[in-house]
Structure 1
Amino acid sequence: MITHLPAALLSALLLAAPTAGAAPTAGPALTMGGVPTAGATPTVGSAPAPATALRLTVTGPAPATTAPTPEGAAPAAPASRTVTLRCDPAGGDHPRAEAACADLDASQGRVDRDSDIACVLLYDPVEVRAEGVWRGRPVSFAREYGNSCELGARTGAVFSF
C-alpha cells in the first residue's frame, strides 16, 4: 500500500488542479510560515492587497546619566515616541513612511533582519514595539537593542522617527 501513496497523491493533485482555460477561483494565497510563496497573489482579479497598519513605539535611548541627582531623585525615564505606519499607499504619521514600507516589503514583513553594518559597542538601550497587521498578517514584535546604531542596522527605516 505504501508504494501506491505517491501515485495516489499525484492523482489527487492532478484532479484538484484547474484545467486549461478554466477561470481562476478566489481563495487564500499560498503561504509558507505565514509569508506568501513566490508567484502567489493575495487575491485574484483587481482586488487590493490586504492592508498594512502598524503602531510603532520607540523608548530610549536612556538618559546620559544613570546617577541620582543631588536631591536623591532618579533620572527621568527614557522618552517614548509612537507613530502609525500605513503601506499600500505609504502614509500615517511616520516621517519616513515610504522608506519604512519599502524595508518591510524587502524583508517580507519581518521587522528585524540580519545586517552587515558594524556598530560601536556602546550600551545605550533602545526598546521598540510594533503592533498591527502587515498585508493582512498580524504583527506583534518587541525587542531591546543595545543602541540606536544597532536598531537602525537591524530594522532599517521602520523605527526611524
Structure 2
Amino acid sequence: MNAHTPVAVLAALLLAAPAAPASTADAPAVPAGAALRLTVTGPGPATTAPTPDGAAAPASASRTVTLHCDPPGGDHPRARAACADLDASRGRVERDSDTACVLLYDPVEVRAEGVWRGRPVSFSRTYGNTCELNARTGAVFAF
C-alpha cells in the first residue's frame, strides 16, 4: 500500500491521534471506531424534467457519503443500521446472502475506503444490480 493513499493517510491520522479526553466537550472530531468514505456508482433515478428534445435526462448516478461508528454518524442516512451491519460481520463490508435476485444486469459499482476499528478498509466491487448489492452489503451502501 502506498503511504499516500487515502486509507494510509487516514490510518496514520487515527493512529497518531491522542487518547480520547475524559470530557465529551473535548472529544475528537472523527470517532476512532470507524471512518469510512462510501461511494455508489450505478443506475440512478431518471428525472422527470424533459430536455429540449423531449427526452428525460438521467440523474447523476454517483453518490458518496461518510460513515462514522462509535457513535454512528457522518452523512450516511442509515448510519446506525450500517454500523450494526459492520459490527455483525466484524468489519467485512460484504456478507453471504441467500436472497434470490432477478437476473437483470444493471451494474452497480461500490467502493469503501477508510478505517474500521483501527484496521484499514479498501473495498471495491461491481454487483449485477441493486438487489444483489443490497443482499450482499445490507445497509452499508443503502443511501
Residue 71 of structure 2 aligns to a residue whose secondary structure is coil
Question: Distance between the aligned counterparts of 2:135 and 2:106, measured in 1?
Answer: 15
**RMSD after superposition:** 2.4
Deviations 1:97-122 (A, max 9, x none): 00000000000000011101110000
Alignment pair present for 1:136 and 2:135: no
1:94 pairs, out of 76, 87, 105, with 76
Decide which structure has greater strand share.
Answer: 2
Question: Distance between the aligned counterparts of 1:100 and 1:120, measured in 2?
Answer: 24
Question: How far is 1:76 from its partner?
Answer: 6.4
Alignment pair present for 1:154 and 2:139: no
Question: Distance between the aligned counterparts of 1:53 and 1:145, measured in 2?
Answer: 23
Question: How far is 1:61 from its partner?
Answer: 1.7
The answer to whether the Cα contact below 8 Å between 1:62 and 1:124 also exists between their aligned partners in 2 is no
1:145 pairs, out of 108, 127, 135, with 127
Change (3 A) 1:62 1:91: closer
Change (3 A) 1:151 1:57: same
1:119 pairs, out of 101, 104, 120, with 101
Q: Normalising by the residue count of structure 2, what TM-score does the alignment of the two structures yield?
A: 0.67
Q: Normalising by the residue count of structure 1, what TM-score does the alignment of the two structures yield?
A: 0.60
Deviations 1:67-106 (A, max 9, x none): xxxx9xxx96961000000000000000000000000000
Deviations 1:115-145 (A, max 9, x none): 0111000000000000000011100000000
Give the unaligned 5+ runs of structure 1.
1-45, 65-70
Residue 98 of structure 1 aligns to a residue whose secondary structure is helix
Matched length: 105
User: Structure 2 matches for 1:26-65, cutoff 5 A?
Assistant: 50-61=32-43
Residue 128 of structure 1 aligns to a residue whose secondary structure is strand
Residue 85 of structure 2 aligns to a residue whose secondary structure is helix
The aligned counterpart of 2:12 is none
Question: Distance between the aligned counterparts of 1:96 and 1:160, measured in 2?
Answer: 7
Residue 104 of structure 1 aligns to a residue whose secondary structure is helix
Identical counterparts, % of pairs = 80
Question: Distance between the aligned counterparts of 2:76 and 2:44, measured in 1?
Answer: 22
